[in-house]
Amino acid sequence: MRVLVADDDPGSLLVAKAAVEQSGHECIAAADGDSAWELYQQYRPQAVVTDLVMPGLDGLALCRAIRAAGTDSYTYIVLVTSQGSREDVLAGLEAGADDYVTKPLDPFTVHTRLLVALRITSLHADLARYRSALAEQARTDPLTKLSNRLKLDEDLELLHGLSERYGQDYCLAMCDVDNFKSYNDIYGHPAGDIALQEVAAILSGQGRKSDGIYRFGGEEFLLVLPNQSWRSARILVERARAAVQALGIVHSGDPTGVLTLSAGISAYMEGHRPGSEQLLEEADTALYAAKAEGRNRVAIASAIPGDGA
């Protein structure tokens, strides 16, 4: 564990540093509150042992600054007081300290406080990992392992805001597996699930790292393509469509004899800057147009000005 010790008294600082290191922890020493705050921001220690009265930031101000920092990890703070008065202890706890010790420092007391600090910070780290895993799970489609609608809403809102602010283009491509209902009817839902997983893998392999691939629902997928013109988006989506067809997943209910994909592309571009919801609708309308034209093809939204019409 990394421990920051702050004290303006050289003797007390030396005792505290020795106690920390004898307990088997890494120690960072600061001779006043201001340098302690700078070292905290640089090293993000798991525990802080700070004197109450110091030049610059005092112990209470340091506690408040650490709690206001709002980091993902938890810092356990031990306040060191000269008298251990009730007022000092209460003020320290209200400022964000977890515990206190009195001077002169006893190495055994410091050691016991650090044992508690290690236990508490480890628990907080575990909870942070669990929260992160749950948040990831809530935003992932369990079948295809692609991002789901919740993650799409978050990512698209962010992308649209940045594109609107900086005048950047982006495209959406709504993709749908052709005649998928009949595929499930003929081959069964387990086979349909496997087919969706294979299509998802193909779509994931076609884009750039900056592109987003989402399961939109059922057999529909959405590609979010930042900094793409509709022309470059069409090349990418045509490549994906051909790759799905090249999988050769047998589908006796499709005229081609294999599973295929249709797609519709909309664009946020110069001369056409609608909201993200409208772009989704335009991509969906273009997808229906591709279906009406015979499936296994890519259509461009009619709302795109110029050559895109």
The answer to whether residues 123 and 191 belong to one domain is no
Task: Look at the chain and report how many structural domains it folds into.
Answer: 2
Distance in angstroms (rounded) separating the CA atoms of residues 207 and 225: 8
32-41: list long-range contacts, CB under 8 Å, 24+ apart: 32/6, 32/8, 32/56, 32/57, 33/6, 33/57, 33/58, 33/59, 33/61, 33/62, 35/6, 36/4, 36/6, 36/62, 37/62, 37/65, 39/4, 40/4, 40/65, 40/66, 40/69, 40/75, 41/69
- Indicate the pTM of the whole model: 0.68
The answer to whether the CB of 78 falls within 8 A of the CB of 121 is no
Domain boundary among 138, 172, 192: 138
Q: 144 in a domain, yes or no?
A: no
The answer to whether residues 49 and 170 belong to one domain is no
Say what percent of the chain tops pLDDT 90. Answer: 82
Q: 82 in a domain, yes or no?
A: yes
The answer to whether residues 168 and 251 belong to one domain is yes
Q: Which two tokens stand for residue 138?
A: 């809530």
**Which residue segment(s) compose the domain that 110 sits in?**
2-138
pLDDT in tens, 42-62: 999 999 999 999 998 999 999
Q: 87 in a domain, yes or no?
A: yes
Q: What is the 3-state secondary structure (H, E, C) of the chain?
A: CEEEEECCCHHHHHHHHHHHHHCCCEEEEECCHHHHHHHHHHHCCCEEEEECCCCCCCHHHHHHHHHHCCCCCCCEEEEEECCCCHHHHHHHHHHCCCEEEECCCCHHHHHHHHHHHHHHHHHHHHHHHHHHHHHHHHCECCCCCCECHHHHHHHHHHHHHHHHHHCCCEEEEEEEECCHHHHHHHHCHHHHHHHHHHHHHHHHHHCCCCCEEEEEECCEEEEEEECCCHHHHHHHHHHHHHHHHHCCCECCCCCCCECCEEEEEEEEECCECCCHHHHHHHHHHHHHHHHHCCCCCEEECCCCCHHHC
pLDDT of residue 306: 64
Q: 119 in a domain, yes or no?
A: yes
pLDDT of residue 282: 97
Q: Which two tokens stand for residue 290?
A: 């591709």
Q: pLDDT band at 208, cuts 50/70/90? A: confident
The answer to whether residues 302 and 157 belong to one domain is yes
Q: 67 in a domain, yes or no?
A: yes
Please say if the pLDDT value at position 85 is more than 50: yes
Is 219 annotated as catalytic? yes
The answer to whether residues 27 and 109 belong to one domain is yes
The answer to whether residues 7 and 74 belong to one domain is yes
The answer to whether residues 183 and 212 belong to one domain is yes
| Catalytic choice (38, 94, 154, 219) | 219
The answer to whether residues 100 and 198 belong to one domain is no
The answer to whether residues 66 and 180 belong to one domain is no
In the block, tokens 């007081």 appear at 81
Q: pLDDT band at 130, cuts 50/70/90? A: confident
Amino acid present at 3: V
The answer to whether residues 301 and 240 belong to one domain is yes
The answer to whether residues 121 and 154 belong to one domain is no
pLDDT in tens, 253-304: 999 999 999 999 999 999 999 999 999 999 999 999 999 999 999 999 998 8
